[in-house]
Structure 1
Amino acid sequence: MSVLFGIVRPAGRMERPGDENTRCFRKSREIEAESDSTWKGEGRKRAEMRKILSLFPCLLLLGFPPQGPGRADSRPLVRVKGVQPGATLLLEGGLRIRLLGLEFPSPEWAKKALEPLVGREFRWQEEEVDVDRPKLRRGLLFRKKAEDSVNAELLEQGLAWFRLRSGRDKAFPSLRMALFRARGAKKGIWNKVPMARGNPPFFRGGVLGLYYKESRLDYHKQLRRIRDIGADWALLLLTVFVPKVDSSRIVKDPNRTVQDARLKETIRYAKGLGLKVALMPIVLIKESDNDEDWRGTLRPKDPIRFWLDYDKQLCHYADVARESGVELLFIGSELCSLEEKYPKAWPRIIANLRGRYGGWLSYSVNWDHYDVPRFWGLLDCVGLTAYFELTENKKASLQELVEGWKKVRKELEGVSKALERPVFLTELGYPSQEGANTAPWNYLLAKDKPDPEEQARCFEAFAKVMKDAKFLQGAFIFDFFEEGGSEDTTYALWGKRAWWVVRDLFRDWAKQR
């Protein structure tokens, strides 16, 4: 395997120098092209033929106009009059514009990038009207005889982060290529950004949900327990919210979303313990009308608004991750209903995160939905939750659980072979309840029947079957937030036999790798 700007691809044929940026771009374009044709039930050849035929009326009406350098440029000439707050350019005539695909880290960076444009003439190509500010236009500026846009020039010089608000922009390829060149050369703002190199490592980790409602409370004890069990990774899980399952706005709850200051302090403390850090923002429903609704069934009424909000939240946490030295960032978790329905949104989201963050990227797919996402090739590693139903017996023996995990192993190995990549488990956990193996995802299964021994047996079965699995890239144990203890019915391991089972597994993994 080899990695190009954080995108893993299988080793294969010899490739010419300079092909790397093209291949990075081509992968996402292949996904978008497939979505344009096959996603609607059409064969690719049929779709291509229809596109070709659709051009004939246009060609006849236009009389086959001359192509190439001799063709007149219809884009209007504009002169930049000044730079206004918010990285906005004021043109002569009063039009206010922003450069498509660019986001500046500070007013100082915006001034440095944009002031040299004042007083000069450019060709203006409008691409979109700002959704939130209808009088503001976004587009591309071109020097009079240049093919590349000023937008691409500024990105390649490392003067701005990359962020597109729409996946339909024709400028996507050229801007992203400019981004890759800046990242690779560590120009400008990329000079001090920590960059992931090589394949992601093997994960021995613990999941810590940042659930405290009081910001004064810290997570030091939980992080020390993650370290003491033998983990070398801490996965910090934080929550943002949609009011209803069909809501289009994503908001932070002041009582349930961890504050940035506490998040950054938690990351610093974890790294001070010698732990690498993964960050996973997840979307929860604040008020559900029934037991069937969860983040895997989201159906926003206004998809455009939803994806703008989702992109905004992820870009914010990508900034936190970059500034805090987080090694792995998740682009989402278990968004089953959105993975298939919006295939064009995901490549744009991933590109926007690559445009401001240099660490590894992954996604946590639901344990029964891993074959759906079409964007695995754009990510660095394949993650899935592991709430597999092992048996139908609430009193299952260790041997029965082993047989259950053998079936799961065969299934996961098939996934790994199909993707030609290893997989890792983002959440591996069992509540300490009777029958937990029958529905590990159900923490309300038997809250009045604590059974820490069943929890321990489930982990023992996993260790026996999966300890030497070559296709497995590790696991994050869920969850280290709760206190634990013999009467506890949560996923916590502390004070239970499962703690020692997992510690022994992590020690064995550490010796093997």
Structure 2
Amino acid sequence: MRSVVLFCWVLGVSCMGTPGGKINGVSFVGSREPAHQQHVDALRQVHAGHAAVMPFGFIREKDSPEIIFDTDRQWYGETCEGARQYIELLQGNGIKVMLKPQLWIWRGLFTGDLEMPSEAQWQELESEYADFILTYAELARETGVSLFCIGTELETFVRARPAFWGQLIREVRARYGGKITYAANWDEYGKVPFWDQLDLIGIDAYFPLSESRHPTVAELRDGWQRWKQEIRTLQQQVGKPVLFTEYGYRSMDYTAKKPWLVDRNQEQVNLGAQANAKEAIFEEFWNEEWFAGGFVWKWFIDHPKAGGAGDNRFTPQNKPAQEVIRQYYQRY
């Protein structure tokens, strides 16, 4: 598999799949255990051709520069060893991989608010983050993944230290020959200063679309129009394809009002609203030539135990939204 991917790089061929195809991806959540063939079989059944593998680094507070990663206290799938095992298993099944190392601030604080109180601490964070990302850039090179993501939803860090990010991109490219992106939050992507240095404009697409309890597909498509035009304008300015590095909706009432919510609210389960939101995003974007595709948030490796009719979380597994994904991924 690695030789095939490297051959694509040499020829300058896009690793976005077959001509006219899309990145039909899922965010393959790290587990306590290694992944096995049955965990990949479920991806193949929904025609997923790509998967994001997401090792994690941990930060204690939003003003702390230390990044803890690749330790025996983490879940297996969040470490270098686990990420490698997942990548090789996925690739062995013909599924291309985006390696997407991410930060987690304890208690689930938003990574976009990561901000250091002094210049010395900013410099320490830069050193820590470079070590974190370049460790995984080396893994991306060794495994020949199709795509590497240099960060996820780090708005304040990006805004405060633009020179660092330019240097980091150069160092990643010195180690890894594939395509690179950054996963900007839905309200951040227009302010990222380095899109012209990357291969794809990456957006975590949690745009508010509707305040209805059970929005229809037509209502959701209408809600997309403002955002779609803004995305298209940036895409034309930068001249790079757009990738939804994450996209998804919870299976609950008002799912498109604040799609980014990850709290533990007990909002009423609404499987139909989630399915409608998936259909709307496919209908609006998947037939656009400038749109590369996206990665569903999120997909747990133990498929039989994931999601289900009583679950109001993001995963589409064992819900009507899964069938919507299967149909559209098969089509594209």
CA deviation profile, 1:474-509 (whole Å, cap 9, x unmatched): 111111117121111221122111111111111222
Whether 1:283 and 2:115 are equivalent positions in the alignment is: no
CA distance in 1, matches of 2:242, 2:187: 14
Q: Is 256-265 or 352-361 further displaced after alignment?
A: 256-265
Specify the alignment match of 1:245 in structure 2. 62
Q: What letter matches 1:426 in structure 2?
A: T
Structure with larger RCO (C-alpha < 8 A, sep 6+): 2
Q: Per-residue deviation at 1:194?
A: 3.3
Partner of residue 498 from structure 1, selected from 313, 321, 326: 321
Cα distance change, pair 274–330 in 1 and its aligned pair in 2 (3 A):
same
In the TM superposition, what is the alpha-carbon distance from 1:219 to its structure 2 partner? 5.7
After TM superposition, give the deviation of residue 446 of structure 1 in Å. Answer: 4.1
SS of 1:255's equivalent in the other structure is coil
Pick from 198, 208, 222 the counterpart of residue 403 of structure 1.
Answer: 222
Distance 2:208 2:230 in 1: 13
- For 1:51-70, what aligned pairs fall within 5 Å after superposition? none
Per the alignment, residue 331 of structure 1 pairs with 150
* Alignment pair present for 1:267 and 2:82: no
Percent of paired sites with the same residue:
27
Residue 19 (structure 2) aligns with: none
How far the C-alpha of 1:221 sits from its partner, in A, is 4.0
Q: Tell me how far apart the structure 2 counterparts of residues 391 and 448 of structure 1 sit (CA, whole Å).
A: 16
Alpha-carbon displacement from aligned partner over 1:443-502 (angstroms, at most 9, x marks no partner): 337435211111001111222222322221111111111712111122112211111111
Structure 1: 5+ residue stretches without partners: 1-190
Checking the alignment, whether the CA contact within 8 Å between 1:367 and 1:385 is kept in structure 2 is yes
Q: 1:198 matched to which residue of 2?
A: 13
Cα displacement (A) at 1:277: 0.8
2:186 is the counterpart of 1:340: no
**Partner secondary structure for residue 355 of structure 1:** helix
The one-character-per-residue Cα deviations of 1:227-271 (angstroms, maximum 9, x if unpaired) are 221121111122111110000111126234723222211111101
Deviates more, 1:309-318 or 1:254-263: 254-263
Equivalence for 1:179:
none
Q: String of CA shifts for 1:129-186, please: whole Å, max 9, x gaps.
A: xxxxxxxxxxxxxxxxxxxxxxxxxxxxxxxxxxxxxxxxxxxxxxxxxxxxxxxxxx
Taking the TM superposition and a 5 Å limit, the aligned residue runs for 1:8-27 are none
Query: Whole-Å Cα distance in 2 between the matches of residues 398 and 351 of structure 1?
Result: 42
- Return the structure number with greater helix share: 2
- Residues 34, 86 of structure 2: 8 Å contact kept: no
Give the drift of 1:403. 0.9
Aligned residue in 2 for 1:320: 139
Contact 1:298 1:337 in 2 (8 A): yes
Give, in angstroms, the shift of residue 209 of structure 1. Answer: 2.0
Deviations 1:197-237 (A, max 9, x none): 33442311111121x2x3x4436444332222112111112
CA distance in 1, matches of 2:44, 2:234: 30
Deviations 1:384-415 (A, max 9, x none): 11101101222322321121123332222122
Instruction: Tell me the equivalent position of 1:431.
Output: 250
Q: Counterpart of 1:295?
A: 111
Query: What SS is found at the alignment partner of 1:444?
Result: coil
1:221–1:433: structure 2 CA closer, same or farther, 3 Å change rule?
Answer: farther
The C-alpha deviation readout for 1:78-102, integer Å capped at 9, x for no partner, is xxxxxxxxxxxxxxxxxxxxxxxxx
**1:89 paired residue number:** none
Query: Which residue in 2 is equivalent to 1:353?
Result: 172
Taking structure 1 as the reference length, the TM-score comes to 0.58
What residue is the counterpart of 1:95 in the other structure?
A: none
Once the two structures are superposed, what CA deviation does each residue of 1:32-77 show, in whole Å capped at 9, x if it has no partner?
A: xxxxxxxxxxxxxxxxxxxxxxxxxxxxxxxxxxxxxxxxxxxxxx
Q: Which runs of 5+ in 2 are unaligned?
A: 17-21
TM-score relative to the length of structure 2 = 0.88
3-state DSSP class of the match of 2:56?
strand
- Determine if contact 1:194/1:322 at 8 Å carries over to the other structure: no
Partners of 2:15 and 2:146 within 8 A in 1: no
SS at match of 2:53: strand
Counterpart of 1:379 in structure 2 is 198
